[in-house]
Amino acid sequence: MRVKHKGQQPAAQLPTGYAEFLENLKVSIHQAQVCETLSVNQGLIFLYWHFHKEILQRQQRAGWGIMEGFSPRILKYMRVFSEAWPDEQIVQPLD
């Protein structure tokens, strides 16, 4: 038997279908968050690919040397990525 404390209201009953509605809302919010995360990541991947592609072209055409002011590790990852997938269609954002 539950003891009711002084000043405490009895537990309110939820409307019919409320729990299902709330669960569907949570799932929809989570799906939207995942979708937005993937969209942002896709845009960043394309940006990094394009950025390093430009650096490679300028190094080859204009003799640019080491890129100061950029993280060597990030430049290495971008280089490996853009050399592994040189075709822009592979990394182009989907519309």
What letter represents residue 26's amino acid?
Answer: K
The model scores a pTM over 0.75: no
Q: Write down the residue that tokens 């640019």 correspond to.
A: 64
Whether 39 and 84 have beta carbons less than 8 Å apart is answered as no
Q: Which two tokens stand for residue 77?
A: 């990852």
Q: What is the pLDDT of residues 39-83, one digit of tens each?
A: 888 888 888 888 888 888 887 887 777 767 777 787 778 778 777
Q: What is the pLDDT of residues 61-73, one digit of tens each?
A: 877 777 677 777 8
For the chain, domain boundaries:
43-95
DSSP single-letter state for residue 73: H
Q: What 3-state class would DSSP assign to 44?
A: helix
Q: Write down the residue that tokens 């592979």 correspond to.
A: 90
